[in-house]
Each structure stands twice: as C-alpha cells, then as structure tokens.
Structure 1
C-alpha cells in the first residue's frame, strides 16, 4: 500500500516502478520550479494521501491540493464549479481514485486569489481547503517561507495545516486540531541550474531540516571532459562520484541523523541527452529496527525525489 508509493526505478532494481506522483507539466516545458509534497492524513474516516504542489515562475506562484478519494470537481463558497470563469481552476481526474480538488494561480494583479476557500466531497463528506497567502514570504523556492497558512478541514477538524499562521487558520475555520497529525511521506521537487542543485529535507519528523547540495565539477557535462559529482548534506561531502560518465547510475548508503539513508542517482540524460535534460536523485531513509533514539511513530516512509534539470 504505502510502500508502493516509494518503489525504486527499474534502473536500480528489477521490476519496480516510480511512484505515481504527477509532475507539473509546466515544470519541464518552461523551467518552472515546482515541488510536490504528499501527506498522509485522517480524512473521512480513513488514512488518505493529500498531494500539495507549489510552483513558481517569473510572474506567478501556483498552489494545487488534491486528496485521494475525491470525486469530480469541487465548488467554491458561491457554489460555482472550479474551472468556470473567474474560479481558481480545477483539473480533471488524475486517476480513478484521486482528482484535482483545489488549484489556485496567484498572479500579482489577482490579489484576491491569495485568500480563499474551496469545498468538495470525499466519500460523500464535505472537505474544505482554506488558504491565506496575501502576506506570504518567498525565497527562490516555490514553497512559501512564512506568513501564510493552508488548511484542510474534515469533520470540524483541521487534518492538515501548512504555514506558520496557525492561530489565524484555526480562528478562520472555527475548527479544532485533529488528534491524528498529518505525516509528510514524500517530496518530489524540480530544480533548475547549470551545475549546482539545492534543496532541503527532513528525514524523520523530529529531525533537523537539512541542506542538500548536488554539484558537478563541470557545467559542460556532454563536452567530452571528465566529470566528478558530489552530494553534500549541510556542507559536508557524503557521496563522491568520480568519472561520472562511467558511473552515471548508482546508489550508496549514507548516515544522516543516525539514520541510514539510501541515495540513488541516474545522471544518464545529463551526459547523453539533448536539449533540456534532468538527472534523478532519490533519498530513502531506512526505518531503524530497534533504537533508543527513535520511535516507530516518529519515522515515516518518507522519500525525496529530486529532479535536477540542467540549463545552459
């Protein structure tokens, strides 16, 4: 079930497939940065996957939220179907059991879209997505840094709450916190650079937020020169791959936060592809068998998928 979400690609182990976490098409078309976060939360009587995607380009920021088991397009508070003129927009079904539930494009001249609410049905029960991004602070990442909230409400409980304006979110929704905390189980990110690719990740719920850097010794990856690659965690080299042109696929086990983390990489298209091309990096912690430092409920089946797009 949940473990199926994190299967390793067939280039690393036979017969297994990538997780079915949809990538924003615009990311590969236009160099738009995007990050998809998958949470497990208690919704409508079941543990369900909630997929939150943030994206950005030079002019706009975008947000979409979908929930496993939602059926059909939702409606805003006026009863208007999403996707009608003036609405936040709503997509069609992403699969048989999951459809786009909330989609918002925040352009500078559409200030009103930064504050809103949508309602839809999951197994016949009303679910609300409520957001306030009017004062959100951003860096170079598509996901806001602070001064915002996005809340998912089910059965008078806030089952998922993103951002630091928690009091404002509870006041606006009039709902109580859920007794079951939502758990981040997957992060899938598209980053664009010439030779240095950066992201952040937390490998267990109470662990430190780590800086991850992937760097190549040459930006001219297909120029016939010898290329080395390093993967750094918080500035320290954890993986060193010499002669990347001969070792463009591989894996290595490293230690982070006293956890063993399997690191997989596939840089084939960097070296042998044409046009805009990406390498794939996967960071998958191994659950500790027994440890005084970790409890089972503190460790989730988290997995980080980093798509590193090389631009000229």
Structure 2
C-alpha cells in the first residue's frame, strides 16, 4: 500500500506521500504517516483547471504545513513549506509570479489551536490570492487585507489521512459541500483464531457495510448511501491478512458521485482473481473507473494496524 497514488480531476493530480519510500522500514513509515493529513482543492487559474494541495504534519518539534499549487498535469507551479521547527515562522506571506500574474500565499498560525492531529482546529488561516482574487481560504481568522479581497471558492475534492488502531479505525468526513460531518468507523479483527475475519464499516455508529469471508474478499468495492448520495467504498486489506511486517496498513477509499441516480452494482474480487495484482494497481484502476462515473469527492484512509 506504500506506493498508492491518487488521481483527481479531469487530467489528475498526484499526491506524493512522504512516507512512501520503498526502502523505508515499517517503523519509520509509521512515524511519518501517523502525523500527516493531505487535502486537495480544485480551482481555476485564468480558466485553467488547477489544484491546491495542502498538507499538515506533526512532529516532535511542532506543527508543519506545506502548500503546493499544481496544474492539471501535476506540474508544480509554486510551493511553500513551513517547517515544524521550534522557531519556525508562524505568520507570513510569499509572492510568486505565474504567467505574468502575481500569486500570493498568506498564512497565520500564531494563535492556532491543535488537537491530537496535525490539523489546527481554530485560530488560524491559510489563503491564496491570484491576480488580486482570493481563490482559496481555510481557517477562521482572516486578516483585514485578506478579508477585503473578493472571494472565489475552491472546491474540496479529496482528503487523505492515516489512522491507527488494533481493531477499530475512525475518521470524520463531509461527503457533500453542505452536508453534515459524519463519523466513519472501520472495524476489522484479523488477529486470527477460530473466528473468520470480517469487515464492518459504520457511518455515525450505524452499520453501512459488512464483508464476511474476508480472506476471499480482501479487495473489492461496494456502494453505500450517505445523505442520499451514493458513496462507492473500495478496500484492500491484503497486508493485514497476509503481510509479514509487525505493522501493516490497509487502504480504504470513499468516493461520492455527482449523480444520485441508480447505484452501481456491488463488485467484489476474490483472491483467485486479484492476488497476482498489487494493491497499488488495483486501487489505481478503481479510481480510473470511478472518474468515468462522475467522481465528486474522495476520502482515502490508510489504516495502520498496531500490534
């Protein structure tokens, strides 16, 4: 699962994972992965499709932030890294020139309040201004300068995070722009014994999907409905069941679709048809197929099993 790339939008944007080096040990991977959340937003620069990739990190020395703007071919147009060092600059701005126009990136983390994760919960803002137009803003405390600029909202298209547990893995997700924030929980016991492993996914404590005979259905996809919207769920728990490392990860993807019509039929791959393909290849194909069906928002969870 370490090589898993994600593609979004018309031509795709690839998010590189700082914990994805194939030469790293599982322990070093887990340390990097544990404190990483990446959010992808879609916007337009002079009518051209672009992506804003915002990554929050947490280390012993403090919180970190990276903001990168990419075009539709995943080429980086500009990037700002705020390192998580003790004396890092928590407030500032940086100006770039893109196609003879000024790109401004502003941030203020001075009064940011953090929970257990890498993302601030309040008291911060990050903003992007292009050609005197506010194209991106997250946070709750804009400066007077930013507030005075006309706003053009970017669209939140993807979120990727790492979750840890032994049997239960939890995250929060908002599957539609004006929808409620839901608690997503994944329960899976792969500890062995007489009981056959099974997978249960719950939305706000209500069972949305259950997969039995998991050793035969360790990769697959199904569709659930959240807020009246069809959400395609894809899973790959091969590493949990058959991995050799003391700490292994599975991947889960939740993809909403703009069309709320008929749901695609459930499709589950058994081990005989998919064991020869890698987790990366399988999930890439699922993303490609889902894009053709009107992909709207994607939540990607890397679930790391603690022994």
Question: By the TM > 0.5 criterion, same fold?
Answer: yes
Question: 1:195-206 maps to which residues of 2 (within 5 A)?
Answer: 195-206=167-178
**Distance in 2, Cα, partners of 1:99 & 1:194:** 40
**Distance in 1, Cα, partners of 2:182 & 2:156:** 15
**Distance in 1, Cα, partners of 2:297 & 2:154:** 13
Note closer, same or farther for the CA distance 1:308–1:22 as it changes in structure 2 (3 Å cut). same
Pairwise CA distance, 1:226? 2.5
Q: Tell me the secondary structure at the aligned position of residue 253 of structure 2.
A: strand
Cα deviations across residues 177-202 of structure 1 (Å, max 9, x unaligned)?
32x32100111112222222111111
Pairwise CA distance, 1:300? 7.1
Aligned counterpart for 1:304 among listed residues 270, 281, 299:
299
Pairwise CA distance, 1:45? 4.6
Aligned counterpart for 1:98 among listed residues 71, 76, 84:
76
Contact 1:34–1:189 (Cα < 8 Å) also in 2 = yes
- Which residue is 2:36 aligned to? 34
Matched, 1:279 2:250: yes
- Which residue is 1:295 aligned to? none
- Which residue is 1:55 aligned to? 57
Matched, 1:243 2:213: yes
**Distance in 1, Cα, partners of 2:9 & 2:243:** 26
Note closer, same or farther for the CA distance 1:28–1:67 as it changes in structure 2 (3 Å cut). same
**Distance in 1, Cα, partners of 2:248 & 2:98:** 38
Matched, 1:142 2:114: no
Contact 1:217–1:228 (Cα < 8 Å) also in 2 = yes
Matched, 1:131 2:107: yes
**Distance in 2, Cα, partners of 1:143 & 1:45:** 30
- Which residue is 1:121 aligned to? 97
Matched, 1:252 2:247: no
RMSD of aligned residue pairs (Cα, Å):
2.9
Note closer, same or farther for the CA distance 1:226–1:290 as it changes in structure 2 (3 Å cut). closer
Cα deviations across residues 154-183 of structure 1 (Å, max 9, x unaligned)?
1112210011113x2xx14475132x3210
Matched, 1:266 2:236: yes
Pairwise CA distance, 1:254? 0.6
Contact 1:229–1:242 (Cα < 8 Å) also in 2 = yes
- Which residue is 2:127 aligned to? 151
- Which residue is 2:202 aligned to? 232
Contact 1:150–1:163 (Cα < 8 Å) also in 2 = yes
**Distance in 1, Cα, partners of 2:13 & 2:132:** 31
**Distance in 2, Cα, partners of 1:24 & 1:224:** 38
Q: Tell me the secondary structure at the aligned position of residue 28 of structure 1.
A: helix
Pairwise CA distance, 1:211? 1.1
- Which residue is 2:16 aligned to? 22
Pairwise CA distance, 1:217? 3.2
**Distance in 2, Cα, partners of 1:217 & 1:259:** 29
Contact 1:65–1:103 (Cα < 8 Å) also in 2 = yes
Q: How many residues align?
A: 261
Note closer, same or farther for the CA distance 1:193–1:119 as it changes in structure 2 (3 Å cut). farther
**Distance in 2, Cα, partners of 1:272 & 1:53:** 31
Q: Tell me the secondary structure at the aligned position of residue 282 of structure 1.
A: strand
Of stretches 35-44 and 264-273 in structure 1, the one that deviates more from structure 2 is: 35-44
Pairwise CA distance, 1:125? 2.1
Aligned counterpart for 2:161 among listed residues 171, 184, 189:
189
